């Protein structure tokens, strides 16, 4: 292939991930290469810019060498909570820096750099009746989960903004409700009633959509961050290695790591099970309602666990879409765009 390509680099709490894409990804999306290294996020939530710059240069060198492609642009996604914007003047290599913690930051950034008058900033109350709460950490060994019930509606304004943004930048918005809105819009093409469980590193979003309208919506503090930090401190290993260890052990019996196994079991029973039990509507028992889990790569056994618990059919959205777990939103975007839905 002779087309120029764009390198996407995502920094999150666990690792730095690079993805190599075609320039015309929107019409012909394809991942050519992907690399991961452990995150350079420090304890004080600042990124070592010089070290990151060196890693990025290595990324570009290896990817261009392996693929034979010339990278024309680099977009950096900062997908970490509380991490401030980079000073853009420091970099000669990186063209775009984005923080995905809040949607208005993203809209303001794109509007500033594109002069797009069609991008309109909107308040949270346009799609959330309540302000988003900042949850305090909870004890993963108790049933005292922080659960907040909210109702929200999805206006066309969100999708109009998304359409303008994603034609110019490739940005995976994960920790805000737009990701949920995208998934809802996608599933509504096939059904009008379903339960969606959206997993994140810090919380779970659970919603019941009945006849095209959202009836119940909950946010549950996930506690996975606390679980990882506990293992990190106990075994004196990195955040990323602790996360990988949790995924590896899962619900599989391992005598060498019995304590981690017990922690995982408790974590699943006390938190994951609430993802389904929290819904009060009788519809979950009266009908064989489709249940979709998004982001199931966090803990692999959750879909299996919920199938055993509820005796219902649980669909892992990643499998449903036949795509890598971390790219489900992009696949949905591409699908909806091709179907002229957005």
Annotated domain spans of the chain: 1-99, 117-338
Domains 1-99 and 117-338 share a fold: yes
3-state helix, strand, coil in the chain (%, to 5): 40, 20, 40
pLDDT value at residue 104: 45
pLDDT value at residue 91: 32
DSSP secondary structure string for all residues of 196-217: EEEE-SSEEEEEEEETTEEEEE
Return the SS3 of 134: coil
Write down the H helix ranges in 147-273.
Answer: 156-166, 177-187, 224-235, 239-249, 258-267
pLDDT value at residue 294: 82
Query: In CATH, which superfamily holds the domain spanning 117-338?
Result: ATPase, nucleotide binding domain (3.30.420.40)
How are strands ordered across the β-sheet holding 5-11?
31-38, 15-22, 5-11, 71-78, 96-99
- The answer to whether the CB of 6 falls within 8 A of the CB of 19 is no
10-residue stretch averages of pLDDT, the chain, 342 residues long = 58 57 47 53 49 68 72 59 34 37 45 54 35 33 48 48 49 52 81 86 79 80 69 78 70 61 68 76 80 68 69 78 65 68 56
pLDDT value at residue 194: 92
DSSP secondary structure string for all residues of 13-27: SSEEEEEEEETTTTT
pLDDT value at residue 41: 46
CATH number for the region 1-99 comes to: 3.30.420.40
Backbone angles phi, psi at 88, to 5 degrees: -65, -20
């Amino acid at each position: 292939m002779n087309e120029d390509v764009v390198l996407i680099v995502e920094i999150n709490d666990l690792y730095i991930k690079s993805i190599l894409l075609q320039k015309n990804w929107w019409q012909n999306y394809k991942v050519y290469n992907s690399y991961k290294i452990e995150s350079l996020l420090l304890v004080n939530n600042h990124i070592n810019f010089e070290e990151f710059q060196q890693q990025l240069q290595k990324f570009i060198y290896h990817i261009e060498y392996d693929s034979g492609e010339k990278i024309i642009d680099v977009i950096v996604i900062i997908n970490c909570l509380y991490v401030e914007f980079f000073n853009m003047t420091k970099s000669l290599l990186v063209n775009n820096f984005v923080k995905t913690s809040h949607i208005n930051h993203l809209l303001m950034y794109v509007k500033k750099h594109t002069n797009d008058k069609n991008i309109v900033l909107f308040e949270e109350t346009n799609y959330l009746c309540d302000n988003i709460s900042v949850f305090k950490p909870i004890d993963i060994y108790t049933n005292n989960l922080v659960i907040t019930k909210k109702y929200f509606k999805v206006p066309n304004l969100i999708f109009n903004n998304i359409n303008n943004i994603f034609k110019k930048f490739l940005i995976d918005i994960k920790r805000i409700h737009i990701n949920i809105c995208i998934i809802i819009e996608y599933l509504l093409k096939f059904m009008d009633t379903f339960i969606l469980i959206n997993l994140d590193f810090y919380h779970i979003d659970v919603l019941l959509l009945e006849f095209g309208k959202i009836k119940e919506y909950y946010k549950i503090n996930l506690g996975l961050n606390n679980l990882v930090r506990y293992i990190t401190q106990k075994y004196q290993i990195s955040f990323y290695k602790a996360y990988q260890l949790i995924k590896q052990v899962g619900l599989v019996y391992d005598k060498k790591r019995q304590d981690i196994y017990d922690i995982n079991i408790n974590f699943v029973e006390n938190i994951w099970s609430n993802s389904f039990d929290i819904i009060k509507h009788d519809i979950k028992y009266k009908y064989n309602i489709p249940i979709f889990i998004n982001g199931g790569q966090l803990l692999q056994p959750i879909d299996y666990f919920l199938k055993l618990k509820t005796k219902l059919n649980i669909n892992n959205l990643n499998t449903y879409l036949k795509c890598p777990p971390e790219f489900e939103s992009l696949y949905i975007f591409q699908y909806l765009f091709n179907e002229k839905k957005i």
